[in-house]
């Protein structure tokens, strides 16, 4: 009989790995499926748990599942920062000082407390915040219209707008909320947890953001310059940390990243930095009745029409560099719809690309490109800059409708 691996093995999964058989309750399996980090499917001897494109950590009660990224947790956070446009956020392996196999939650929390220690060394940043108040005496600026409409000529109380000098600013709300979100994650060391609680106490006057509500906007200025990197980490944290009530009464906590989506967003951001004519996720009708649609990952429009199309694939090609038929079919369809003579496939692995595929019976050729996601930010930007020259503009074979 096949031995049943211990549940603790779920804390040591890698991208693309399958663990079977696993002892789970139906409620636990439903919670894990809802988290999207892994897929749990019932089988003869137990549950088959597969890690696909998601990496990170989720916890439901005493059940913890971790999926380690192939490229390492620190590199994933670098890519997230680049994809989110956090140019002030530099991630140094030596400064973070975590083990190579550390999970994303541990690395992010460690980075956060290190940056918070530096950014908040001089104390929390205060700022003015305008508030509408009703007061018995005049303070601030009188709102004449509200006074007339609400008080009907009465002289008291007064409707005023007051500029408060306070810690409860958009910046501090973001930082405190991120610290509290990180505290909910499993696997934190005692030292990191203590540092996160210290940040919470320092900013206790700042209102905690409600989960699911859009984060407040803040403007980079000279006054908040010391917080820029920390605010980048706070935004990154709040974007990817989730607290969910799923199957059962237990709450699921998690920090998860969809690597396929990350690769797509990263390519869109870096390509647009080089050539602003590129944009992401444009939905177009495929047939005349507009019952079918296409949604290429990347399209180029320089104002004269569609001049380029590309699709990102978070896949590793085989040793021969062979591309799947389905990937080719997809881009051929994009070329036919947009009237282009060449389309592009961008894969998330380094190496030599295969020759261009010239598709029989069409005017389309499909070029394959390979991006090394293990490269440092400067090298990665150089790869994409060279790619941008190759990608466009492209010859148009026919007028392409919108």
Greater model confidence, 126 or 400: 126
Query: Residue 337, by phi and psi: left (phi above 0), alpha (psi -120 to 50) or beta?
Result: alpha
CA–CA separation, 159 and 140 (whole Å): 10
Determine the 3-state secondary structure of 241 from DSSP: strand
Are 187 and 306 part of one and the same domain?
Answer: no
Residue 380 has a pLDDT of 93
Residue 2 has a pLDDT of 61
By residue range, what is the domain housing residue 306?
275-391
pLDDT digits (tens, 9 = 90+) for 353-365: 889 999 998 889 9
Tell me: pLDDT of 402 over 60.
no
The number of angstroms, rounded, from the C-alpha of 271 to the middle of its chain's C-alpha atoms is 17
| Strand pairing category for 278-280 and 284-285 | unpaired
Are 156 and 187 part of one and the same domain?
Answer: no
264 belongs to a structural domain: no
Backbone angles phi, psi at 83, to 5 degrees: -65, -30
CA–CA separation, 182 and 9 (whole Å): 23
CA–CA separation, 357 and 317 (whole Å): 15
98 belongs to a structural domain: yes
CA–CA separation, 71 and 58 (whole Å): 19
Q: Is the peptide bond before 251 cis (omega within 30 degrees of 0)?
A: no
Question: The pTM is what?
Answer: 0.80
Q: Kindly give the residue spans of alpha helices, DSSP state H, lying in 46-161.
A: 73-83, 93-96, 104-119, 144-151
Average pLDDT in the chain? 85
Query: Of 183-187, 230-234, 329-333, 375-379, where does mean pLDDT reach its minimum?
Result: 183-187
Among 258, 292, 312, the domain boundary falls at: 258
Tell me: pLDDT of 247 over 50.
no
Are 205 and 324 part of one and the same domain?
Answer: no
Percent of the chain whose predicted confidence (pLDDT) is above 90: 42
Task: State whether the Cα torsion 219-225-230-236 is positive or negative.
Answer: positive
Q: Could you tell me the pLDDT band of residue 291, with boundaries at 50, 70 and 90?
A: very high
Among 225, 258, 291, the domain boundary falls at: 258
| Strand pairing category for 63-68 and 13-14 | parallel
Residue 120 has a pLDDT of 94
pLDDT digits (tens, 9 = 90+) for 142-193: 887 877 778 876 778 888 887 777 898 899 999 999 999 999 887 788 999 9
Are 235 and 107 part of one and the same domain?
Answer: yes
Q: Number of structural domains, the chain?
A: 3
Tell me: pLDDT of 342 over 90.
yes
- CATH number of the domain encompassing residue 374: 3.40.1350
Residue 401 has a pLDDT of 47
Question: Residues 386-397: what's their mean pLDDT?
Answer: 76
The number of angstroms, rounded, from the C-alpha of 266 to the middle of its chain's C-alpha atoms is 10
Could you give the strand order of the β-sheet that contains 241-245, starting from the edge strand earlier in sequence? 13-14, 63-68, 54-60, 251-258, 241-245
pLDDT digits (tens, 9 = 90+) for 87-141: 556 666 666 555 555 678 888 898 899 999 999 999 998 887 777 778 787 777 8
CA–CA separation, 102 and 107 (whole Å): 7
Residue 253 has a pLDDT of 64
Residue 73 has a pLDDT of 84
Tell me: pLDDT of 246 over 50.
no
Length of the chain counted residue by residue: 402
Residue 60 has a pLDDT of 79
Indicate the DSSP class of residue 211.
T
Q: Could you tell me the pLDDT band of residue 399, with boundaries at 50, 70 and 90?
A: very low
């Amino acid at each position: 009989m096949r031995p049943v691996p211990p549940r603790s093995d779920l804390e040591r999964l890698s991208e693309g790995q399958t663990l079977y058989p696993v002892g789970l309750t139906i409620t636990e399996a439903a919670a894990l499926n809802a988290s999207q980090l892994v897929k749990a499917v019932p089988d003869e001897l137990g549950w088959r748990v597969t890690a696909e494109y998601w990496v990170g950590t989720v916890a439901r009660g005493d059940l913890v599942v971790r999926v380690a990224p192939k490229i390492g947790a620190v590199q994933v956070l670098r890519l997230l920062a680049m994809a989110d446009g956090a140019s002030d956020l530099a991630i140094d392996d030596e400064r973070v000082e975590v083990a190579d196999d550390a999970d994303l939650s541990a690395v992010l929390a460690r980075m956060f407390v290190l940056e918070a220690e530096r950014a908040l060394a001089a104390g929390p940043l205060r700022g003015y915040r305008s508030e509408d108040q009703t007061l018995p005496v005049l303070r601030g600026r009188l709102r004449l219209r509200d006074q007339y409409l609400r008080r009907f000529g009465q002289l008291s109380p007064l409707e005023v707008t007051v500029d408060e000098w306070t810690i409860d600013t958009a910046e501090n709300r973001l930082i405190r909320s991120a610290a509290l979100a990180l505290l909910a994650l499993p696997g934190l060391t005692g030292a990191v947890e203590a540092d996160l609680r210290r940040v919470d106490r320092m900013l206790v006057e700042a209102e905690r953001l409600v989960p699911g509500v859009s984060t407040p906007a803040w403007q980079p200025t000279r006054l908040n310059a010391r917080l820029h990197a920390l605010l980048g980490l706070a935004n990154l944290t709040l974007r990817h940390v989730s607290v969910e009530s799923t199957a059962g009464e237990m709450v699921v906590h998690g920090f998860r990243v969809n690597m396929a989506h990350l690769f797509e967003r990263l390519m869109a951001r870096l390509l647009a930095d080089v050539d602003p004519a590129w944009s992401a996720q444009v939905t177009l009708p495929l047939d005349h009745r507009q019952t079918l649609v296409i949604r290429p990952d990347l399209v180029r429009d320089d104002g004269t029409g569609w001049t380029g199309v590309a699709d990102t694939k978070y896949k590793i090609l085989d040793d021969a560099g062979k591309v799947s038929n389905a990937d080719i079919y997809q881009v051929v369809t994009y070329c036919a719809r947009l009237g282009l003579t060449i389309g592009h496939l961008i894969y998330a692995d380094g190496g030599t690309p295969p020759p261009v595929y010239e598709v029989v019976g069409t005017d389309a050729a499909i070029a394959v490109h390979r991006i090394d996601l293990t490269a440092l930010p400067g090298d990665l930007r150089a790869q994409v800059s060279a790619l941008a020259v190759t990608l466009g503009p492209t010859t148009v074979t026919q007028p392409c409708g919108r």
